[in-house]
């Protein structure tokens, strides 16, 4: 840096002073009733003294800011503290429109180690081999329904991402970096695997992000593979305009019997699925594998190299699988009826 150098600051940073005082609105102002607390606690798939794992529904924002108040961190702070003085904190993000497994830390120590775990910068190794091996085994797997099908059934996408501002000067968009050296970019790597044949112009794809970039999977599907995710109008609007949506199915292809999800005319229970005129985003964090923080935390806090006898019998890894939201289940069942 030199005196007089110009620094370009993203809008999200420039607006921090405005939105900062709204970041923690939730716990002090939200007072959920018993039904709301019961609903939120039914989203919890796992809880120990160190972490919470939830199955986030679609359209629920993860992080609250102006003008969003009913975010996941807000609701968790108000309803998921259990016997703790404070509610759990976010350690990674999911897009507002996506669904699936969301991890939260319950103590200051676990939050610090989980932030370290989800950091894309390769951190220093611990002196405990079991912890290092468990960290190396950590991964997330998403299921997505895409329009079209990738040219290869599986592969590795290495396409750096950049952020740009649209003409309104406020809206931020993520694009594939052009590698011309004029714009900052971040490395983004995604493994993908096609789960089955293309049906009615769509394919189910499994995605495993090896880096954690904003909108990484959505941009990689839309721009790197050329197969945008169903319901992603931000990055796949040009394909959605031409996409011929799946016709209403009343008869199962294999048996010839009435389709089991059939409902009386006029009742739109298929809202958001591939039958809907405006389908919801079909992107779901289905599987999460991570180190058993509750097992390793005493060891990491004391900088020890071996576990105590009482903890050595616990598993090194925790694995979670979350069911798909209703609109994706309907799409899955509809398309599976075509499979032989």
Instruction: Give the active site residues.
Output: 95
What tokens does 256 get? Answer: 């010839």
**For residue 289, cis peptide bond before it (omega within 30 degrees of 0):** no
What tokens does 29 get? Answer: 């102002």
Q: Is 329 exposed, middle or buried (0-12, 13-18, 19+ CB in 10 A)?
A: middle
Q: Which of 28, 21, 119, 31 is nearest to 66 (CA)?
A: 21
- CA dist 93 and 102 (Å) reads 7
Per-residue b or e along 48-84, where b marks 16 or more CB atoms closer than 10 Å to that residue's CB: eebbbbbbbebebbbebbeebeebbbbbbbbbbeeee
Sign of the alpha-carbon dihedral angle for 71, 47, 282, 169: positive
Q: Is 106 exposed, middle or buried (0-12, 13-18, 19+ CB in 10 A)?
A: buried
- CA dist 244 and 201 (Å) reads 8
DSSP state of 251: B
The answer to whether the CB of 101 falls within 8 A of the CB of 53 is yes
What tokens does 95 get? Answer: 């897009």
Residues whose CB falls within 8 Å of the CB of residue 323, separated by 6 or more in sequence, listed in order: 55, 329
- CA dist 164 and 55 (Å) reads 31
The number of helix segments (H) and strand segments (E) in the chain equals 12, 12
How big is the chain, counted in residues? 340
Q: Which of 40, 36, 96 is nearest to 281 (CA)?
A: 96
């Amino acid at each position: 840096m030199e005196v007089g150098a110009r620094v370009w600051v993203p809008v999200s940073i420039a607006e921090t002073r405005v939105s900062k005082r709204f970041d923690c609105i939730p716990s002090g102002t939200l007072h959920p009733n018993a039904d709301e607390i019961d609903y939120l606690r039914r989203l919890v798939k796992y809880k120990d003294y160190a972490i919470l794992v939830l199955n986030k529904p679609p359209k629920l924002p993860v992080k609250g800011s102006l003008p969003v108040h009913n975010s996941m961190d807000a609701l968790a702070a108000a309803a998921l503290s259990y016997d703790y003085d404070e509610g759990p904190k976010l350690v990674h993000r999911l897009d507002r429109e996506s669904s699936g497994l969301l991890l939260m830390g319950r103590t200051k120590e676990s939050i610090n180690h989980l932030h370290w775990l989800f950091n894309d910068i390769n951190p220093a190794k611990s002196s405990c081999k079991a912890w290092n091996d468990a960290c190396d085994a950590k991964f997330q797997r998403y299921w997505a329904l895409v329009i079209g099908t990738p040219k290869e059934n599986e592969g590795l996408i290495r396409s750096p991402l950049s952020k740009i501002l649209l003409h309104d000067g406020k809206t931020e968009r993520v694009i594939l970096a052009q590698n011309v050296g004029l714009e900052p970019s971040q490395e983004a790597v995604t493994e993908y695997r096609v789960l089955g044949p293309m049906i009615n112009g769509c394919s189910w794809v499994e995605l495993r992000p090896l880096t954690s970039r904003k909108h990484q999977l959505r941009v990689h599907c839309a721009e790197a593979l050329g197969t945008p995710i169903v319901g992603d109008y931000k990055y796949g609007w040009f394909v959605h305009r031409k996409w011929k949506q799946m016709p209403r199915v009343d008869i199962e292809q294999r048996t010839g019997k009435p389709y089991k999800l059939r409902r009386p005319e006029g009742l739109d229970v298929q809202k958001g699925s591939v039958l809907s005129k405006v389908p919801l985003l079909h992107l779901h964090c289905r599987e999460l594998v991570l180190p058993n923080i509750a097992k390793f935390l005493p060891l990491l806090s004391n900088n020890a190299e071996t576990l105590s006898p009482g903890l050595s019998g616990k598993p090194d890894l925790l694995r979670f699988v979350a069911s798909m939201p209703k609109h994706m289940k309907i799409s899955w069942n509809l398309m599976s009826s075509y499979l032989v």
